[in-house]
Amino acid sequence: MTQPLYTIAEILAATGGSTDLVPATPIGSISIDSRELGPDALFVAIKGDRFDGHDFVEQALANGAVAALVSRGRGDRRIVVENALDGLRDLARAARARSRAVIVGVTGSVGKTTTKEAIRVVFEAAGETHASIKSFNNHWGVPLMLARLPGSAQFGVFEMGMSGPEEIRPLAQLVRPHIAVITTVAAAHLEAFGSLDGIARAKAEIFAGLEPGGTAVINADHPQLAVLLEEARAAGVSNIVTYGEARGTDWQTLDVETAADRSFATIVHNDVRHSLVLNVPGRHMVANATAALAVAYQAGVEIAVALRALAGFGLQAGRGLRQVLGPVDKPLLLIDESYNANTASMKAALDVFATQVAPQGRKVVVLGDMLELGAQSAALHASLADAVRASGAEQIYLVGEAMGALAEALGRDRVSAHTATASEMAPILRNSLAYGDAVMVKGSNGVGLSTIVDHIVKQFALN
């Protein structure tokens, strides 16, 4: 029989709640969505920006939840606490306290989700692994993911995000990682920080939660490395590991080669050379994989095991996923980068797209606004012009007001269409794309380009 995640008695001990449920009742999963309930689920009624989970308690119980953690209302199968989100955090602390797993925290302006996934793949090759799903990396996502950590897990990997200062610190102090990874520092959420150094110091808040004797794993290929090293030392971190293409890194990347669907590199550590082969394209993907190698080594996973696992690593929807749609002899190639965007990730994606060849048609890019860049937004959007040209895109479609700066930098005659919203762009693309084309869609999640991806898939996938 599978060990339950908690019993009701353990939940009461962690949260100080009250209930009419039998203390020995097992809980096998935790959810904050009444529509997505695992076996023997506990539904946590947190109040968000748009929804209040208390409005869905009855629906969750009707859908099979064993119990609901609530901060108001009474009735059968409810565990009443002062604040449901705080109760979820209490469960997260209890899960962390009982865990004997190697815990890894990942943050960074670019690549944190993909790096988290690369680390997950490596750990799963070595033992039972629990990892954050999707991008559950904020004030409710992190405690939810940590509360789901099974006591039997050997490894845990948690992603931490931010949109302002002092957001990562409490998350890191909750997760208490043994290994803290910072993937890079780039112009994301720039309006909240004012400078890249400000972003770097906010990312370095992850060191505040690092366990005594823990390790900081830091990408060295950006100008804010010195700031991160300074912050790590100020936080009392004595074990600092660097990786990247920069000379003198602990895990140095050499001889990077990228093709349309693969990447190759040599990774040097302690004067030993390792051959890295990835089933995904992109220099940035090599960097993410190198971080996973460094983490694996610190966690005691054999490098040979890690390299084999990374060879089968794949991309996720919204983060470079490739789909070949339509007839075999003349398909449409769709590259879905619709989940996130800043200048670094935009240029990396365009660099990868430059290696792509349209099956039998045109190369097309659909680019959406990069959000939360503040006063530098226009200049940063315009700075993409050279990368767009170098990508070989024959047709360029732009979505969002901020993309006007890129349109001016490229020249309006080079832009096939520019609309304010994704919904306005969808019918234009529907009438423009054809089998044989290669299309990349990239923009910040808030622009809604995932709807354009859905439209393309629906139009060109064969039933």
Please state the three-class secondary structure of 290-354 as a single string: HHHHHHHHHCCCCHHHHHHHHHCCCCCCCCCEEEEECCCCCCEEEEEECCCCCHHHHHHHHHHHH
CA-based end-to-end distance of the chain: 41
Q: Which of 417, 441, 278 is nearest to 346 (CA)?
A: 441
Least confident of 72-76, 264-268, 305-309: 72-76
Question: Who wins on pLDDT, 37 or 171?
Answer: 171
Bridge partners (DSSP) of residue 241 are 217
Once rounded to an integer, what is the mean pLDDT over residues 189-204? 84
Q: What is the pLDDT of residues 38-80, one digit of tens each?
A: 889 999 999 887 889 999 999 999 999 999 999 977 778 999 9
This model's pTM is above 0.85: no
Once rounded to an integer, what is the mean pLDDT over residues 199-203? 94
Would the pLDDT of 265 be above 80? yes
Rounded distance between C-alpha atoms, residue 265 and residue 273, angstroms: 10
Q: What is the pLDDT of residues 309-346, one digit of tens each?
A: 999 887 666 567 888 899 988 999 999 888 778 888 88
Name residue, tokens 């830091």: 218
Q: What is the pLDDT of residues 209-224, one digit of tens each?
A: 999 999 999 999 999 9
Percent of the chain exceeding pLDDT 70 equals 97
Reported as half-sphere exposure (CB side, CA atoms, 13 A), residue 166 has a value of: 0
- The enclosing H or E element of 31 equals strand 29-31
Q: Letter for the amino acid at 206?
A: I
Q: What is the pLDDT of residues 125-163, one digit of tens each?
A: 999 999 998 779 999 999 999 999 999 999 999 999 988
Instruction: Check residue 91 and give its pLDDT.
Output: 98
DSSP characters for 40-108? TEEEE--B-SS-BGGGGHHHHHHTT-SEEEESS---TTEEE-S-HHHHHHHHHHHHHHH--SEEEEEE-
Rounded distance between C-alpha atoms, residue 213 and residue 25, angstroms: 38
Would the pLDDT of 1 be above 50? no
Instruction: Check residue 391 and give its pLDDT.
Output: 93
Q: Which of 161, 179, 182 is nearest to 170 (CA)?
A: 161
Rounded distance between C-alpha atoms, residue 354 and residue 358, angstroms: 10
